[in-house]
Amino acid sequence: MSAALDTGSAPALSVRDLSTTFQTPRGPVTAVDAVSFDVMPGEVLGLVGESGSGKSVTLRSLMRLVHAPGTVSGAVSWKGRDLVAMSAPELRKVRGGEIAMIFQEPTSALNPVLTVGLQIEENLKAHTSLDRSARRKRAIELLDLVGIPAAASRLDDYPHQFSGGMRQRVMIAIALASDPKLLLADEPTTALDVTIQDQILKLILDLRDRFAMSVVLVTHDLGVVAATCDRMAVMYAGRIVESGPVVDLFREPHHAYTRGLLGSVPRGGAERTQLLSIEGTPPSLAAIPPGCAFNPRCSFATEVCRRDRPALAAYAPGRFVACHHHTEVAAAGTAVAA
Amino acid sequence: MSAAKEPLPLLQIEEAVKRFPMPQGILDRLAGRPPRAVNALNGVNLAVRRGETVGIVGESGCGKSTLARCLVRLHELDDGRIRFDGKDVAEYRGAERRAFNRRVQMIFQDPYSSLNPRMRVRQILGEALSVHRVRPPAEIPGRIAELLELVRLPQDAADRFPHEFSGGQRQRIGIARALAVEPDVLVADELVSALDVSVQAQVVNLLLQLQEELHLTVVFVAHDLRLVRHISHRVAVMYLGKVIEVGPTEALFTAPRHPYTKALLDAAPELDPTRRTRVAAARGELPSPLDLPQGCLFNTRCPHAFDRCFAERPILTPRGPEHRAACHLTDFGLPQADPASVAAVAAPAPLSL
């Protein structure tokens, strides 16, 4: 999948300088700070980061699903239209229509007092011109498509009658009802067991192929990224610190944070040795250090890192990093510390 | 450790059974239906030797947390026994019971709810010390300072409250509290699963260091296979309240001998993006622990199940040095000698679109 920013094909979604700020009693907090990225047609982009890095807020900001006192600025270009500037009724047609979203917790995202059939048909009613009987037929097809056995007989069941994995399948069926071209998935498998996670991730990949959808997948799990994404963007303290093709980033990280994240995950072959941990904890968004936000935890940091914030810049086709010392980080390799 | 003169295991779990009765509705009672129960542990066998780390893995509902809680006697077994130093823990009374409580300590999963928010760290650690009278009162402040140093927390942490710490630091307090009473065994239930990846590594590194320093025996319960592989000498895999495979970490991870272990390992995403698969490793989902399958507990999802698996529950049998698996097939990965005896189980996977 060619996914470099400078390839000839036009991106499906283009995000420029997206910022999301929340007004709090203690002053404004910028959860997403001038984030820019592209999603190519049919591509799976992984947004990776730890809690509080702004990855989920970024995803929600794309569709302006940010409650007051949060404000979104920047430009999100979708099929030549800017979602940030779009009027509310227009945006409602795009939301859940051309762009669908699935969430981490299927139990709280589904309405517990409506049957799953009704919840799928709701979306069909909003975004298609099918009549009642055609909607019901389509709902059965969708449940079948996402791998729910005996779909026709499950249509009148309520969410609590499904297991966690099956509920996530129902949520995907609802998302697919409108035939979306972009699926935004916020930690879709975090609440699931590993064998079920595996099934859901593979389902998302199959559906991507089948419907030529683009997918933005928010996750904290590097294993999930390695197994599903074409390209990844690593977020730290509200900003993208590194992005590029997954294979390249895993082989040669250029940002110390990416390197630290990869080293923090145990791999086979070095059992019971010390892991390459990152000292300290992620900063509070209300107190982001000056200069590079990662500098207090970074072993490569120098005076310039404490003073100037590095900009995200391309250093090779399709690879971007925001680090003053990225060549040194790359040269240090990914080997796990002894 | 040679098998010839094996020392007595420090902890020995024999046929442990734990059921949690379900509340019964009035209609069920009037109809005279027997009360139902969640079968959390269905005959667990496992031994833990002094100084080793045993990892217990499995998916939610496999009984791994229940087992951890039974080990520290937060639950009492319904059947079977747990021996500590050769003696059934249910028989410990009085001073012996207190000594057991001190020697087997638990660290909990949630660093936010497992520490009393109204107590300063000094009180949290001091309480453990005074309850078990491990140190005379005069030595307690010194011991608290020692413990903070042990878990790499600053000395001024003693006068702060739990909410002033990050998740990783709180988990260090939990470790310090468990270590305060100089235990022999640490039972860690999902020690780091509530923490961010970069912080997980810090806590795992600390646990590895402390184990070396203090010669601790560790029972490490977790769902994260990579973590368990990294930290354990031996690993036990649980499914529906039974240990279905147990063996040395390397052998179990490189050559699993139970179809469930294999599915679990295959399902865990590889950290190598060049080695992707597109077929789901396991089909179906965990059966309800209210109604256990007849025969082998894994037969509803096993691609290799044949008629014997539906009739007879397999027991743990040897597969290699210290390696045992509970499966009727000894080489499930290889083609079957008699295909006629293998029931048609190749039902379409739910993902074959």
A182 vs A336, which has greater pLDDT?
A182
* Total Cβ atoms within 10 A of residue A150: 9
pLDDT range class, residue B135, cuts 50, 70, 90: confident
Tell which residue, A335, A316, A324, A293, has the closest CA to residue A6. A316
* pLDDT single digits (tens) A123-143: 999 999 999 999 999 999 999
Lookup: tokens for A4: 């470099």
Q: What distance in Å separates residue B317's CA from the closest CA in chain A?
A: 25
* Total Cβ atoms within 10 A of residue A307: 12
DSSP letter (8 states) at residue A303: H
Question: Rounded to an integer, what distance in angstroms lies between the CA atom of residue B320 and that of residue B47?
Answer: 17
Q: What distance in Å separates residue B87's CA from the closest CA in chain A?
A: 31
Tell which residue, A220, A225, A116, has the closest CA to residue A168. A116
In chain A, where the domains are located:
13-98+180-332, 107-179
Lookup: tokens for A55: 């990855």
* pLDDT single digits (tens) A160-181: 999 888 999 999 999 999 999 9
CATH number at residue B257: 3.40.50.300
**For A327, phi and psi rounded to 5 degrees?**
-70, -35
Which residues, 6 or more positions from B325, have their beta carbon under 8 angstroms from its beta carbon? B244, B245, B246, B247, B257, B258, B261, B316, B317, B319
Helix (H, G, I), strand (E, B) or coil at B174: helix
Question: Rounded to an integer, what distance in angstroms lies between the CA atom of residue B24 and that of residue B27?
Answer: 8
Taking an 8 Å cut-off on Cβ atoms, the answer to whether B351 and A282 are in contact is: no
Helix (H, G, I), strand (E, B) or coil at A143: helix
B55 within 8 A of B249, measured Cβ to Cβ: yes
Report chain B residues whose CB lies below 8 A from the CB of A222. 197, 271
- The percentage of residues in chain B with a pLDDT greater than 70, rounded to a whole number, is 92
Helix H or strand E segment including A20: strand A13-24
Helices (H), chain B: 26-30, 64-71, 94-103, 121-131, 140-150, 167-179, 197-214, 225-231, 249-254, 259-267, 307-311
* pLDDT single digits (tens) A276-331: 888 888 888 888 999 999 999 999 999 999 999 999 999 999 999 999 999 999 99
ipTM score assigned to the predicted complex = 0.83
Report chain A residues whose CB lies below 8 A from the CB of B253. 268
Question: Rounded to an integer, what distance in angstroms lies between the CA atom of residue A255 and that of residue A323?
Answer: 6
Taking an 8 Å cut-off on Cβ atoms, the answer to whether A206 and B353 are in contact is: yes
pLDDT at position B5 is 56
Q: What distance in Å separates residue A224's CA from the closest CA in chain B?
A: 6
Taking an 8 Å cut-off on Cβ atoms, the answer to whether B202 and A279 are in contact is: yes
Q: How many residues does chain B have?
A: 353
Taking an 8 Å cut-off on Cβ atoms, the answer to whether B271 and A250 are in contact is: yes
| pLDDT over 60 (residue B129) | yes
A234 within 8 A of A244, measured Cβ to Cβ: no
CA atoms within 13 A on the CB side of B204: 34
pLDDT at position A335 is 54
| pLDDT over 80 (residue A2) | no
Q: Say how many domains are in chain B.
A: 1
**For A292, phi and psi rounded to 5 degrees?**
-70, 130
Report chain B residues whose CB lies below 8 A from the CB of A274. 205, 208-209
DSSP letter (8 states) at residue A51: T
A245 within 8 A of A231, measured Cβ to Cβ: yes
A and B: number of Cβ contacts within 8 A: 149
Taking an 8 Å cut-off on Cβ atoms, the answer to whether B230 and A202 are in contact is: no
Report chain A residues whose CB lies below 8 A from the CB of B198. 50, 260-261, 264, 277-278, 282
Question: Rounded to an integer, what distance in angstroms lies between the CA atom of residue A253 and that of residue A332?
Answer: 10
Helices (H), B72-106: 94-103
Tell which residue, A262, A260, A266, A265, has the closest CA to residue A280. A260
| pLDDT over 60 (residue A152) | yes
Q: Is residue B346, in this structure, part of any structural domain at all?
A: no
CATH number assigned to the domain with residue range A13-98+180-332, chosen from the 4 options 3.40.50.10310, 3.40.50.300, 3.30.465.10, 3.40.50.720 = 3.40.50.300
pLDDT at position B351 is 34
| pLDDT over 90 (residue B234) | yes
Taking an 8 Å cut-off on Cβ atoms, the answer to whether B269 and A223 are in contact is: yes
Structural domain boundaries enclosing B334:
11-341
Q: Is residue B348, in this structure, part of any structural domain at all?
A: no
B283 within 8 A of B347, measured Cβ to Cβ: yes
pLDDT at position A1 is 38
* pLDDT single digits (tens) A193-245: 899 999 999 999 999 999 999 999 999 999 999 999 999 999 999 999 999 99
Q: Is residue B79, in this structure, part of any structural domain at all?
A: yes
Helix (H, G, I), strand (E, B) or coil at B325: strand
